[in-house]
Structure 1
Amino acid sequence: MKKLLLLILLVSHLALGRDILIGDRINLLISGSSEDKVREAFQAFEIEDIRESEEGSVVTLRSYHPGEQVVEIGDKRLVFNVKSSLEEGEREIYSDLSDGSARTLAKPRFPWIFAGGVLLGLSSLMYLLVGVIGRRKKKEQLSPREKFYGNLEDLGEDYTYRISYLTREYADHLMGSNLLSGRYEKSEGAPKELLHFLGELDSLKFARRSEGDREELKDRARELIESIEKTCNIGEAKEGSNV
Structure 2
Amino acid sequence: MPGHIRMLGSVDICGDGGPWEIGHVRQRAVLAALAAAPARRLSSAELAWWVWGDLRPMSAAATLYRYIHRLRRHLEQVPGLAIERGYRLVCAPEQIDHLRFSSLVRQARATRDRALAIRLYGDALRLWQDEPCAGLETPAFVSFRQRLTHERDAAELDYVDLLLGEGVHAELLPGLHTRRAERPFDERLAGQLMLALSRGGRSADALDQYRRFRDRMITELGREPGRHLRDLQRRILGSADPGFQPG
TM-score, scaled relative to structure 1: 0.20
TM-score, scaled relative to structure 2: 0.20
Higher strand share: 1
| Larger RCO of the pair (alpha carbons < 8 Å, separation 6+) | 2
Give the number of the structure whose alpha-carbon radius of gyration is greater.
1
